[in-house]
Amino acid sequence: MKATDLLTQQHKKVKALFKKLEKGSGDAPALLEELANDLAAHMAIEHELFYPAVIDLDESMVHESFEEHALGEIAIKRLLAADPEGDDFKAKVTAARELIEHHAGEEEDELFPKVDKAIDSDRLNALGKEMKARFLEAQQQGYEQLMAKGPAKTAADSANLKLSRARARRRAA
């Protein structure tokens, strides 16, 4: 499966989980844990594999994506800390969903078409296979291992800094 197709498929699953949470259908704590694990694993494969592979196609959008991931991670942390029976729970779910859906929409409408056009399908399929394997590993790790501790720093911040440093070293060489 192409890397962009894998990411789009994951976006759809996350949207479905948000809808269940907004409707109040299902076990909210279990749905939240599944959502957090899936989003953290999804962000990990984008940080570690996808964004480094495509940054030269749209550097600005990749950096914006890291920022949106940081905000998404904070929104998910707030959701995980919220009382599913609280008056503000649905508002937190809706705000997090809107943030994540905005980000996914930009990727699907703007970045993925550039990637699909610029990178041959064999490379995209190989990247997709690598990303799927890493996603399954990351899911098993769980969101608590993948997300940075505390609200001020996020995994996206760390990954973006690492990518920027690697690119600076390549430019200097």
Each domain of the chain, given as residue ranges in start order, spans 3-172
CA dihedral angle for residue 70, residue 49, residue 2, residue 100, rounded to 10 degrees: 0
Task: Could you list the beta-strand ranges (E) of the chain.
Answer: none
d(CA 7, CA 50): 9
- Residue 112 tokens read as 């993925």
d(CA 77, CA 56): 31
Q: What is the C-alpha end-to-end distance of the chain, expressed in Å?
A: 35
- Statement: the pTM of the whole predicted model exceeds 0.85: yes
d(CA 41, CA 138): 5
Q: Among candidates 3, 11, 9, 7, which has minimal Cα distance to 119?
A: 3
- Residue 71 tokens read as 């905000």
At residue 85, what are phi and psi to the nearest 5 degrees?
Answer: -95, -5
Per-residue pLDDT in tens (0 to 9) along the chain, 173 residues: 999 999 999 999 999 999 999 998 889 999 999 999 999 999 999 999 999 999 999 999 999 999 999 999 999 998 998 889 888 889 999 999 999 999 999 999 999 999 999 999 999 999 999 999 999 999 999 999 998 776 655 676 677 678 888 888 888 88
Contact between residue 124 and residue 116 where contact means Cβ atoms under 8 Å apart: yes
d(CA 126, CA 139): 20
